[in-house]
Structure 1
Amino acid sequence: MIGDLTYDVLPDWERLPPEHHHVDVAGVAVGPDDRVYLLTRDENRVFVYDRDGTFLTTWGDGIFTTPHGLTVAPDGTVYCVDCGDHTVRRFGQDGTLLQTIGTPGVATDTGYRRGDGKPVVHNVETVATPAGPFNGCTNLTVAPTGDLYVADGYGNCRVHRFTADGELVASWGGVGVGPGEFHLPHGICATRDGRVLVGDRENDRIQVFDLDGTYVTSWTDVQRPTDLAVDQEGLVYVSELWRPRGTASFTRGTTPVDLPGRVTVFDPAGSVVARWGASTTMRGAPGNFVAPHAIAVDSAGDVYVGEVTGTFGVQAGRVPPNLGDHQLQKFVRTT
């Protein structure tokens, strides 16, 4: 671990009931009461836990196609982003569906062609033109104003701004590596000082905008940022995906070395204050990562990291099946 802050891993935090199973924790979020919510794959549902890892409830059966992102709003309602269904759904704390943004099963036309040939870097290179919501939407954040900002990344290259009622206000973004352009906007968070931070995953950067979508700056000391969370101090927590040796980004070319998954904590100005987990030999050990995909922080500054080890690791042949349960870790802040 490097940086001024330190964290200890809390092994076996999640006490999952024996009748349930998941292969991935695609999304993780903490509610205003410090309850922890997981959006999972395989059972494709939401699990809810107390802060100590005690299981409380589960809901969402038969709703989701490809669960991807999870956000708990200040009022306790839960937003689930489904990249396979091209929708954002808002639920009550008991799982009652309150709102759907987007048309289930209908993607906007960007030219995106999933699995069409062998990509040079990533399938997002088939996105030809930006479009409206949604095509493979990824994550959502609630701004202090109450507006919703949705990263629309797998089949698009945009951020969409909505009112709390789901009315589209504006969209921004284009295909590319320039300011305000994206190759897979994947994670997103709004800060108290009125900024929107977007994890531009396959460009290896975090782009910073104001609430109107005006580009401010980029943070580039990051690799494949998948999710972002901000705490009460303004610290920004980022989960970063493994980039295997021989694969490439749009901005840095092909990596000659293995770049394991990790977590980085930035101060509000974009300087690194903590970083951990980048092990090439002990990916499945407590405190290290296979495929960090989601991150959240609670009121005490403790950090929760969800991983898509099943799909990104085991199914792709990158790690052996015995690492398949390496999906969720809690880190307790010690300094």
Structure 2
Amino acid sequence: MRGLTIIASALALAACSGGRGGREEAPEVVVDESWPDLPDSAVFGEPMAVDVDSHGHIFILHRSGHDDTDGEGAETISELTVFMLAANGKLLGKWGADTFAAPHGLSVDEDDKIWITDTGRQQVFRFSHEGSEELVLGERGVAGDDGQHFGGPVDVAFSQGRVLVSDGLSNNRIAVFDRSGNFLEQWGGVTQPRGIAADGERVYVADAGANVRVFSPSGEMQDEIGADRSGKPFAVKPVGSGYILVIEGRDRQDRPGAIGRIYRPDGELERVFDAGVDHRTANSIGQDVAVGRDGSVYLVDSGTGRVVKFELAAAGVADED
């Protein structure tokens, strides 16, 4: 957590030195145009999720060529669907061919295990860092709302030794498991749960139907963040000292976009920024986000098929020139 504490300190300093505080203005982020540095043969297709491991490796999940068929009959994707990149954007490895039908979320746990949700197969997988399958939750192609089935699992988070699954395409719940995959309980209080994340004290759910819902580690609703101003939050990440970063994929009129908001520990808006990465089209959608320990942000724009990098400390700080 030391790296995230440093990030939060940088955010506070940036806000004092020219940021817009809580005012509803949206300066554009400065994207690192040199990142990623991939060979022509490495194409993301339809990127869906991103996360960073303890070594600073960036894992990107994409689903080019996925089958829209629901249920057990969905064909698996023949392409390699998981890319591992170095911090400089160089490709380090690829895996995941012939495994997923409609992969949606990717999360890295404290042991650098890779957890992936698949809304087509109705399952959640755990892989080793190198891509060996270790655990599967759910019954392939069979939807349900009990401890052995999912109804569109979209994301995974980790809190106090447990695995929290945002089960949100048809089930509006958070399903809770131990690290061995045993079902423990489920939480309600959400309408369209998408991204989920946790720090030591709170669990955050990006509820695309409303705002960010804040729970205790035991599942008690504690707060709602952004109800008076947010569009449709798709992703949320703690960035240290109680601050969180929220990415909205659509506004209240259901138009695509990529608006980022940084909230303080008390739930007040610190600043807002425009994370839309391609203004030549109207398809830019902020689907997922990850934050490295050095303060680098990796944003998935599934609408334009890109994953971009920018610096969190500078996001939302308008250029005075």
**TM-score bucket of the superposed structures, by smaller chain:** 0.7 to 0.9
Q: Can you list the C-alpha shifts for 1:99-153, whole angstroms capped at 9, x where unaligned? A: 1111121111xxxxxxxxxxxxxxxxxxxxx65540111100011x121111000
2:244 pairs with 1:236: yes
Deviation of the 1:229 alpha carbon: 1.4
Do the aligned partners of 1:244 and 1:260 also contact (CA within 8 Å) in 2? no
Q: 2:49 matched to 1:27?
A: yes
Segments of 5+ residues of structure 1 without an aligned counterpart are: 109-129, 174-179, 248-257, 310-323
CA contact (8 A) 2:234 2:247 kept: yes
Counterpart for residue 123 of structure 2: 87
C-alpha distance in structure 1 between counterparts of 2:89 and 2:275, whole Å: 25
Q: CA deviation at 1:25?
A: 1.6
Moved more, 163-172 or 43-52: 43-52
Whether the aligned pair in 2 keeps the contact of 1:242 and 1:290 (CA below 8 Å) is no
Structure 2 contact 80–95 (Cα < 8 Å) conserved: no
1:334 shift after superposition: 4.3
Contact 2:191 2:210 survives alignment (8 Å): no
Q: How far, CA to CA, are the matches of 2:80 and 2:230 in structure 1? A: 30
Q: Compute the displacement of 1:2 (Å).
A: 4.3
Partner of 2:152: 136
What aligned pairs does 1:101-116 form with structure 2 within 5 A after superposition?
101-108=137-144
Amino acid at match of 2:132: T
The TM-score, its normalising length taken from structure 1, stands at: 0.76
- Counterpart of 2:266 (choices 264, 269, 286) is 269
In structure 2, give the amino acid aligned to 1:92.
S
Matched, 1:292 2:295: no
How far apart in 2 are the matches of 1:156 and 1:236?
Answer: 25
Query: Higher relative contact order at CA 8 Å, sep ≥6: structure 1 or structure 2?
Result: 2
Which one of the candidate residues 136, 158, 161 is aligned to 2:173? 158
| Alignment of 1:213 onto 2:219 | yes
**Cα–Cα, structure 1 residues 53 and 214, in superposed 2: closer, same or farther, change >3 Å?**
same
Residues 37, 49 of structure 1: 8 Å contact kept: yes
| Cα separation, 2, equivalents of 1:75 and 1:234 | 23
SS in 1 for 2:250: coil
- C-alpha separation in 2, matches of 1:244 and 1:236: 21
Equivalent residue number for residue 17 of structure 1: 39
Q: SS where residue 290 of structure 1 aligns?
A: coil
2:53 pairs with 1:38: no
Query: Aligned to 1:8, what secondary structure does the other structure show?
Result: coil
Aligned counterpart, 2:85? 49
Deviations 1:137-191 (A, max 9, x none): 1100011x12111100001111011111111111021xxxxxx1x3221111111
Instruction: Give the fraction of aligned pairs with identical amino acids, expressed as a percent.
Output: 26
Structure 1 position 16, deviation (Å) = 2.5
Distance 2:287 2:310 in 1: 15
Deviations 1:184-225 (A, max 9, x none): 2111111122x1111111x22111111111111111132211
* Contact 2:248–2:260, Cα closer than 8 Å, also in 1: yes
Name 2:113's counterpart in structure 1.
Answer: 77
Structure 1 residue 328 corresponds to structure 2 residue 310: no
Aligned residues, how many? 274
Alignment of 1:113-192 (within 5 A): 131-132=146-147, 133-143=149-159, 145-173=160-188, 180=189, 182-192=190-200
Unpaired segments ≥5 residues, structure 2:
1-18, 65-78, 315-321
Matched letter for residue 62 of structure 2: T
User: Are residues 217 and 233 of structure 1, via their aligned partners in 2, closer, same or farther at CA, if it must alter by over 3 Å?
Assistant: closer
Which position in structure 2 is the counterpart of 1:118? Answer: none
Whether 1:260 and 2:257 are equivalent positions in the alignment is yes
Work out whether residues 256 and 285 of structure 2, in 8 Å CA contact, stay in contact via their aligned partners in 1. Answer: no
**Cα distance change on mapping 1:67 and 1:12 into 2, 3 Å:** farther
Task: Give the residue type in structure 2 aligned to 1:199.
Answer: A
Counterpart pick for 1:197 among 200, 204, 213: 204
CA RMSD of aligned residues (A): 2.4
Distance (whole Å) between structure 1 residues aligned to residue 177 and residue 311 of structure 2 = 34
CA distance in 2, matches of 1:38, 1:278: 18
What SS does the corresponding residue of 2:141 show, helix, strand or coil?
A: coil
Distance in 2 of aligned mates of 1:196 and 1:98: 25
Partner of 2:30: 8
Give the aligned residue type for 1:54: K
**Structure 2 Cα separation of the partners of residues 268 and 46 of structure 1:** 34
Is the 1:186–1:198 contact (alpha carbons within 8 Å) kept by the matching residues of 2? Answer: yes
- Contact 1:206 1:218 (C-alpha < 8 Å) held by counterparts: yes
- Is the 8 Å Cα contact of residues 199 and 207 (structure 1) preserved in structure 2? yes
3-state DSSP of counterpart to 1:9: coil
